[in-house]
Structure 1
Amino acid sequence: MKIDSKEYVHKAISYPEYKLLFKQLVKEERTTGNEQSREKIDFTKLNWSRTKRLDKTVILSDSAIAIFKELNTPQTWLVITETWCGDAAQTLPFLNKIAALNENINLKLVLRDENEELMNSFLTNGSQSIPKLIILDSNNHVIDTWGPRSSRATQLVNDYKKLHGQLDADFKKALQIWYNNDEGVAIIEDLISVIKVSV
């Protein structure tokens, strides 16, 4: 599959630009996306705090750093996201930390609701789940994709759905605790596997 670089990669924003947008939205009590609900505005505030904390505290192991530094071909890591998305708040600081290790990784972000055609090309089980990482080569061909969660977090989601039929507030709280305890290890493990496959 080939992504239209003019339409998507070119208009995508950097992580620092995304954080400026994020900060401004929190100040204005707004959020990204088509739905300006109280719930999503509140999630945006919460995610801003999580993002700031993780940006300061994320630590990668020496072995992980070595692997990500080995990547010797240019790639664009195009992420579909929204500021209200809890999984994105847990993931983007790790992607940014990895991209900072290697000049061959160009991290760019686009908003889901503003790029529906792109999103619909990368559905997860028929759902517009985010964040979705699309790894592109220098010709904007798709090398691989990842997301919206690590394989371990996805297993937690699937197991809960089997027992309860749907995800509820209790699960969201439990998932947040799991993210805190995991400290990004599952995300890093998944991304190392993706890198090893795509190198």
Structure 2
Amino acid sequence: MKDLIQKSLAKAISYEEYNVLFKKLVAEGRTTGEATSEKINYTKLNFSRSKRLDKTIKLSEEQNKYFQAINVKQTWLVITEPWCGDAAQSLPFFNKIAENSENIELKIVLRDENPELMDSFLTYGSRSIPKLIVLDKNLEVVNHWGPRSKAATKVVDDYVQKHAKIDEQLKTDLQLWYNKNKGEAIIAEMQDLALCEKNSEVM
């Protein structure tokens, strides 16, 4: 696993580089991976949403203090794709947290270019993204998260249980939930991930 992680990190890009790619894809009417018209449209929509979040996210004073106090070097490696709606809702929060911590380095790889890594972090057998992999200073995997918060997952599970399908209405409902929650569920779960990492190092 460590060799795979090292190879993946060698190809990984920063959040800033990811956004440069994101912007270029939108400008050229393209996307990553298998380019369908649906994925191209989602890429454009996700770019708009993520840019809005980049400008509006504000961590509370308590949240800022929490992430600033993390004293353990770690890398947050995210598997994603620009067309992924859940990723557009979570990546800006990962970045904001990393910006507020001297010890968290955020790196990004594309799912379809890294199938071996993706297949090591499946969700119930599915290549669901985004997937956040928390690595310690020795690049050992200490935790992982994704593709969405537990609260957002419940929104999806409840809808599928009731309607027996994933459709555009579900995507609309999930987007409304994200707008209302304002990233609080994601931030809370990131605090849990970082805390587990910190405790393991202290012990």
Q: TM-score, normalised by structure 1?
A: 0.97
Map of 2:141 onto structure 1: 142
Map of 1:8 onto structure 2: 8
Map residues 152-191 of structure 1 onto 2, 5 A cutoff: 152-191=151-190
Q: CA deviation at 1:166?
A: 2.0
Gaps of 5+ in 1: none
Contact 1:3 1:142 in 2 (8 A): no
CA distance in 2, matches of 1:133, 1:23: 22
Map of 1:93 onto structure 2: 92
Map of 2:129 onto structure 1: 130
Relative to total residues, which structure has the larger helix share, 1 or 2?
2
The root-mean-square deviation of aligned C-alpha atoms, in Å, is: 1.0
Map of 1:119 onto structure 2: 118
The AA in structure 1 aligned to 2:138 is N
Runs of 4+ in 1 over 6 A off after TM superposition: none
Q: CA deviation at 1:6?
A: 3.6
Q: TM-score, normalised by structure 2?
A: 0.95
Contact 2:130 2:148 in 1 (8 A): yes
CA distance in 2, matches of 1:9, 1:118: 11
Q: CA deviation at 1:5?
A: 4.3
Q: CA deviation at 1:160?
A: 1.2
Map of 1:57 onto structure 2: 56
Gaps of 5+ in 2: 199-203
CA distance in 1, matches of 2:5, 2:131: 17
Deviations 1:134-174 (A, max 9, x none): 00011110010011101100111111111112211000001
Size of the aligned set, in residue pairs, is 198
The AA in structure 1 aligned to 2:30 is R
Contact 2:4 2:117 in 1 (8 A): no
Deviations 1:82-122 (A, max 9, x none): 00000000001000000001121110000000000000000
1:144 and 1:3, CA in 2 relative to 1: closer, same or farther beyond 3 A? farther
Q: CA deviation at 1:26?
A: 0.4
Contact 1:14 1:108 in 2 (8 A): yes
Q: CA deviation at 1:2?
A: 2.8
**Secondary structure of residue in 1 paired with 2:112:** coil
**Secondary structure of residue in 1 paired with 2:124:** coil
Q: CA deviation at 1:53?
A: 0.4
Q: CA deviation at 1:3?
A: 5.0
**Secondary structure of residue in 2 paired with 1:167:** coil
The AA in structure 2 aligned to 1:166 is K
**Secondary structure of residue in 1 paired with 2:79:** strand
